[in-house]
Every structure is written in C-alpha cells, then in structure tokens.
Chains A and B, each alone.
Chain A
C-alpha cells in the first residue's frame, strides 16, 4: 500500500504557515486601519497566502527526501529556508510596488524605513523564528502524520 509520505510531508509543512495566515491578515488589518500604515493588503497578502505555505510544504518534502541521506536536524533545515524566502519576498514586494530601496535603507509600504544594519538584525531574528517553528511546530506535525 502506498502511504503517500511526500503528500503527508507537504501537508505537515504547509500546516504551520496556513494557521499563521489568520494572524498575518489580522496584523495587516490592524496596521492599516488602526495605525494608518498604508499596506496594500490585497497585494501584500499574496506572498504569505500563496507562496509561503507552498514553500514550507515543498521544503518539508525536501527534508523527507533527505532523511535517508546525510541531513541536518529539522530545526536547522528550517533555518535555511529564509535564505530562499527573503529574496523571493523582496523580489515580489519590489515588483508589486510596496518595497523600495534607498540609500538609507529599505522602505516598506511607502512608510516603514528599515536601515540596512537593522535589516541584518531582523534577518537574524527570522533565522531564529524559522528554527523554532520548524523544530517544534513542523516537527510536531511530522510526528502526528507519521513521517518524523
């Protein structure tokens, strides 16, 4: 019997960001309507809604494929993902017109200026966040679906 381990790996990987989507959308709505940050929600939501869950699923399938081979623990495997996601996110945000590069730093949503030095810190924190999410959330979903 084929137990479709790659399909289960995809589902386990995409579960965490799909759950987070409610938080993301709420955050965008609060930022836009309470703090008057001009976030174009209809364009900005494309990346977290359509791409991130798929990338998580594919990355978890890749982890499953690596399992019989020499591989990193799941937390470190997940911490590599921002190196893929961040450039894609920047590219999409630039194309959709809510990210601009200036000499002082990146300007998000025409209002939020992130200096390049701070950007490095934010990226380091992203690595930590992805490490924890993959180690505990995706690892748990893998265990539940029997592919850990």
Chain B
C-alpha cells in the first residue's frame, strides 16, 4: 500500500466512523438514585433511620426541641411515670 492509498484508506475510515458525541444523551442521576435506593433497601430499617445522612438532614430546631425535652425530663424526673403512662 503506497502513501496515496494509505491516505485514501484513512480518509474512508474517518468517514465511516460517526463523530463522537461529547455530551451524554441521557441523565445518569436517576440511575444513580436507583442504585442508592437499592443499597438502602438492603440495609436494616433501624440503620436507615439512624444513618449519618438521615441524622444530618434533621434541622437544628428539631435538635433544640429534643434538647429542651431531655432537659425538661431531667429537671422534673417525677414526671417520668406520667410520660410512660401517656405513651
């Protein structure tokens, strides 16, 4: 194969290949969510409930309310049986 034929062959090869698409033609995020969800399904419900991601999504005022609740019970421990009765 001489140089001319090589150039011709390279040209034909280039034309036969489709131009590469630099952009993805689909959104990968839904598939990622599915994979994450599948991982969550395999875990125990208690592990999901108290997972770091679940705990980090709790807003600060709910933590503050929990602190108020614990402080209230500590300040008045006599109320514990009444709590138990009403739960």
Contacts and interface: CB of A to CB of B under 8 A. Distances in A.
Interface of A: 17, 20, 23-24, 27-28, 31, 37, 39, 44, 47-48, 52, 82, 85-86, 89, 93, 108-109, 112, 114, 118, 121-122, 125-126, 128-129, 131-132, 135-137, 140, 144
B85 interface: yes
Contacts of B83: 122, 126, 129
A132 B62 CA distance: 7
Contacts of A93: 85
Q: How large is the interface on B (under 10, 10 to 19, 20 to 34, 35 or more residues)?
A: 20 to 34
B49 interface: yes
A28 B82 CA distance: 10
Interface in B47-87: 48-49, 58, 62, 65-66, 68-69, 72-73, 76, 78-87
B45 interface: yes
A37 B86 contact: no
Nearest to B69: A128
Given A28-B81, A31-B81, A135-B62, A118 B86 contact: no
Contact of B68 (A28, A52, A112, A128): A128
Helix, strand, loop or mixed for chain B's interface?
Answer: helix
A137 B62 CA distance: 13
B1 to A, nearest CB: 66
Contact of A39 (B48, B76, B81, B86): B81
17 contacts: A24-B84, A24-B87, A27-B80, A27-B81, A27-B84, A37-B81, A48-B84, A48-B86, A86-B86, A89-B86, A112-B79, A112-B81, A112-B82, A114-B78, A121-B72, A128-B68, A132-B62
Contacts of B66: 132
A11 B24 CA distance: 44
Given A31-B81, A132-B65, A121 B86 contact: no
Given A121-B72, A132-B62, 18 more contacts: A27-B80, A27-B84, A28-B81, A37-B81, A47-B86, A48-B86, A52-B87, A114-B79, A114-B82, A118-B76, A118-B79, A121-B76, A122-B79, A122-B83, A125-B68, A125-B79, A128-B65, A128-B68
